[in-house]
Structure 1
C-alpha cells in the first residue's frame, strides 16, 4: 500500500520543485529512492578519498604516495577528518534504527559495513516514517564528502583527439564538482567551435575509435583505450556516482589503479551504458 501520494525525498524538496508521486509501498519516488541508494554506495568511497587526504595525498591529485609516514609539515585537514567522523556517526545512527526495529545483528562500525547494511535495508527505510529525514541527511553527507574529498571546483579531463575532419586538436571535459555544467562541456583545444554537450560523448567516442571525423571520414590517431575516474563517468553519462561504482562491480569493468585511485575502461563503460539505454 502506498504510504503517501507525494514524495518527501531530498530530490523533491525545496527550490519550488514539483514533488513526484511515491513508488508503491514507499514514502519516496523512484528517483529519490535510487539517489538514496546511490548516495549510500558513494559514501564508502568518499570516506576512503577523505582518508587519502589525511594520509598525505593532495586533494583530487594523482601524486604518488611515499613510504615512511605522513609528509613532514603537512597541515592537518580538519574538514576531511570531520566529515569522516560524521559519516561514521550518521550511518551508525541509521543502522541502529534498523537494528532496533527489525531485530537484526549490528554491523561492524565501519563506513563500508554500515553503508552496505543500510543498502540492504534501503527499501525498508524508504517506507519508514523517517524516510524524508534519511534521504535528506544522506544527501547532505554526500555533498559534504565531495567538498572535502574534491575541494578543487574545476578539473579538466582529457578525452582524446578531436573527431572533426582535418583537426588535430584534443578534446577535454571541464568538470565542476557538485554542480551541473551549463551549455556545451566537451571542447576542442584547437578550435573552440568544435564543442558538444556531454550527452554526445558516446557518439563522439565511437567516432574517435573508428578513426572517422564527424560527418566525414578522415582518419585520426586515437588511443587504444581511455581510462576514466568514477566521477568523470558520472559526469559524461549523467549517472549518480554511486550507480557508477555499483555497475563497475556488477559488470566487471576493467580497471587500473594509480596512486590509490581507480580508473575504469571507457570501452567497458560505454558498452554497459549502451546496453542500459537499449533496454529502456
Structure 2
C-alpha cells in the first residue's frame, strides 16, 4: 500500500495542536502534563473541557478541532470505492434497485449490496451467492457453476488463507485450475461456511 503523506501530515498536526492546548492547561492550572500520545492528550483535554469552554480562547479550540475532523473526513472520503448496479431488489413488493459498494484497497473494510429504496434490504459479501440466485431467478440446479479464488473466499467469509486450504482438503471441495491459480466450487464453499456458522 503506498505511503499516504497527507494522512501522515494530518496525524502530526493532530498531535501538535492537541499538545499545544494541553500545554495551556498545564501552564495555567499547574497540573501534571499528560503523556505525549493522542489518546492520552485527548483524555486530558476532555477532563478539563469545562474549563476550556469558559476560557476566552475556547472558541479557537473548537474551530481548530473542527478543522482537523474535516481534513480527516476528506482523506477518508478519497478512498477508492467501486460502486455499480446489480439488479432489482428481490424482496417482495420492493421497487428498489440493488447497488454494490466494493472497497478493493481497504483490507477489513466490508463490501455490501444495498437497496436504493429500503435501507434494511442489505447483504454482506458472505450472502452474495444466495442473493445472486434470487436476483437471477436461477436455482442451484439450473445455474452455471461459479468458482471462487482463495482471495475471494478469505474476504467474503473473513477466514485465513490457511483455513481455506484446510477446509478445501477436509471437505473435498470441487476445484478447477486456471493458469497457476486454483478455484473452488461456490456451492461447496457456501455449504461449509454455513456449517461453521451453525456450529459457532
Per the normalisation by structure 1, the TM-score is 0.33
Greater fraction helix? 2
Greater fraction strand? 2
Q: Higher RCO, 1 or 2 (CA under 8 Å, sep at least 6)?
A: 1
Bigger Cα Rg: 2
